Amino acid sequence: MRALDYLKMPLFAAGIATGAKSFRDNPLLGSSRLNERGLHVKRIKFAQRMSDWRRGKLDGLVDAGAAQHYERHGYIRHDDVLSASELTALRQEVERGTFHAWDMRQGNAVTRFIPLPPEVLRETPALKAFVEGPLFRGGLQYVASTKTDPIVFLHIVLTDPADGQPDPQTAFHSDTFHATAKAWFFLYDVDDEEGPFTYVAGSHRLTPARLEWERMQSLTAAKDENTLHARGSFRVTADGVRQMGFADPVRFAVPGNTLVIADTHGFHARAKSTRASVRVGIYGSLRRNPYLPFTGFDPFLWPGLRHRQGQIHMKEKEWTARIFGKANSHRYAGKISPTAPPTI
């Protein structure tokens, strides 16, 4: 360890009781000696017990069928979410609008994030009704086991398989060591050739094989060549998934007007695109300290902060890049049409 790391040791120790996940950046989390003694395994087992306990207090957020499907498979799917008139109104608001957008390139894919703060939602009533609706919002809160404010974006994925290196999101991975929710409402049909969202059903649960795999990864993750893996978003091969006993992944090549909410502690990926495509949707994400013994008390629900997490997230990235003199992974694209060509 570096000398500075010894001074930071109280912070590293405190991180054990939070959602901190980077094996490379926290020498305690990445310690092979501590993980041989069960640190990582104990963290993820306790996190799952706490999320199950909190989720038990949130039964009213989804119907019984959705709750049962989540428990078994790790995701919830809703088809034909909006009426024809509601879907048309929502599509028109997105198609005709211009929005402040940020582009992030990962290999041959560019993901465009468009925050939806209150001033945007005031001008887009159909969009506002959807993101505040119980199906989208309640589903995210149930899967994440916390009744707090999700971060929400218009989410556009522009992919060209002929342009650049492979997209790292096409590798199966787990976002973090505890239950966390992501949602995609697809405004238009997603063809199987366009790299649909793919999920390994049941992999959100700590089976004995998954737990042993986690233990083995924790022993070497800090030194792994893959930066994302070393920082706690574990990568796994398709063979590795099968060896853990999970079924073949589900590919969400779905019609427009479909909502998918997944626990991204489970293994998932963006399937490889075989042709250039543009995917338009509404994206929500919800992640909180996995050890909290309550489901509420979220400052982002206070007046003036609700619906501002996306906006704050982008500003935070800009400030961090400026302070530390690093390139920002998310480049401001201007106020543009959602499907305008990539800027990065």
Domain membership flag for residue 182: yes
Question: Could you give the percent of the chain with pLDDT greater than 70?
Answer: 99
Domain membership flag for residue 343: no
Q: Name the burial class of residue 102, with classes exposed (0-12), middle (13-18) and buried (19+) by CB atoms within 10 angstroms of its CB.
A: buried
Q: Per the structure, how many domains does the chain have? A: 1
Quick one: average pLDDT of 266-270? 97
Domain membership flag for residue 78: yes
Q: What is the pLDDT of residues 134-155, one digit of tens each?
A: 999 999 999 999 999 999 999 9
pLDDT higher than threshold 70 for residue 2: no
| Angle ∠(292,48,247) on CA atoms, nearest 5 | 150
Q: What is the mean pLDDT of the chain?
A: 95
pLDDT higher than threshold 90 for residue 32: yes
pLDDT higher than threshold 90 for residue 133: yes
Domain membership flag for residue 244: yes
Range of the domain at 161: 3-336
| Angle ∠(234,238,244) on CA atoms, nearest 5 | 75
pLDDT higher than threshold 70 for residue 125: yes
Domain membership flag for residue 147: yes
Q: What is the pLDDT of residues 277-333, one digit of tens each?
A: 999 999 999 999 999 999 988 999 888 899 999 999 999 988 888 888 888 889 999
| Angle ∠(162,165,171) on CA atoms, nearest 5 | 110
Domain membership flag for residue 342: no
What is the per-residue pLDDT for 93?
A: 98
CATH code for the domain of 297: 2.60.120.620
pTM reported for the whole predicted model: 0.94
Domain membership flag for residue 59: yes
Domain membership flag for residue 344: no
Quick one: average pLDDT of 263-288? 96
Q: How far apart are CA 133 and CA 131, in angstroms?
A: 6
